[in-house]
Structure 1
Amino acid sequence: TWCSSKTIFGCTEESRSYCCFKSILAKIINREGRKQLGLSLETCEGITVEQLQKLDFSKIDMTEFQNSVVPKNVDLGDKAEKIRERVNKQAVGGYYSE
């Protein structure tokens, strides 16, 4: 929320605004980038190339993006075993086909 109407007595009207992004990654970079650059979060303006080059991406929390692209509930032990089996078959037979 932000003050959309002020008088000498203070804020007389508050408004809300929402920004829409084409992807989770765009949302994260825009929001976190605006914080780093000291830009207002009240507008939905994009970030310029010059501003983008100033960002420290190591300080941006990408957890939401990672969770959206990494499969959930994957049994890595099972996957590793299947890969081991394929490698062993290829080493013994010279090639692998399913």
Structure 2
Amino acid sequence: QIVQQQGRNGQLHIGFGGASSPDCRGITVEELQRIDFNMLDFTNFMDDLMKNQKIPENDVLTNKTKERIKEIMSQQSAQ
């Protein structure tokens, strides 16, 4: 939605048509390459993502990763 509204419509100036003649096509590869993604505002997307996702704490993630590495190492040494 962000790419369609801000990229296609805002940057490339490719409209969506009207009620009697809608233009619902997607974006071509060439058009996508012309969009400056640094100019897109993903604030609403990031807000929704942060509200709806439980992101693990760094320590929890680090400990989980260390434990998984230990498991893999012990499996490999047992072979």
Identity, % of aligned positions = 22
Shift of 1:61: 2.7
* 2:67 counterpart of 1:94: no
Question: How many angstroms apart in 1 are the aligned matches of 2:67 and 2:27?
Answer: 49
Q: TM-score, normalised by structure 1?
A: 0.46
Amino acid corresponding to residue 57 of structure 1 in structure 2: F
Q: Report 1 or 2 for greater relative contact order, CA contacts < 8 Å, sequence distance ≥ 6.
A: 2
Dislocated runs of 4+, deviation >6 Å? none
- The alpha carbon displacement at 1:73 in A equals 3.9
- TM-score normalised to the size of structure 2? 0.53
CA contact (8 A) 1:29 1:60 kept: yes
Question: How far apart are the structure 2 equivalents of 1:61 and 1:94?
Answer: 46
Which protein is bigger by CA-based radius of gyration?
A: 1
Query: Unpaired segments of 5 or more residues in structure 1?
Result: 1-26
If each structure's helix is expressed as a fraction of its own residues, which one has the higher value? 2
Equivalent position to 1:84, from 59, 66, 71 = 66
Instruction: Provide structure 2 residue ranges, at least 5 long, that are not aligned to the other structure.
Output: none
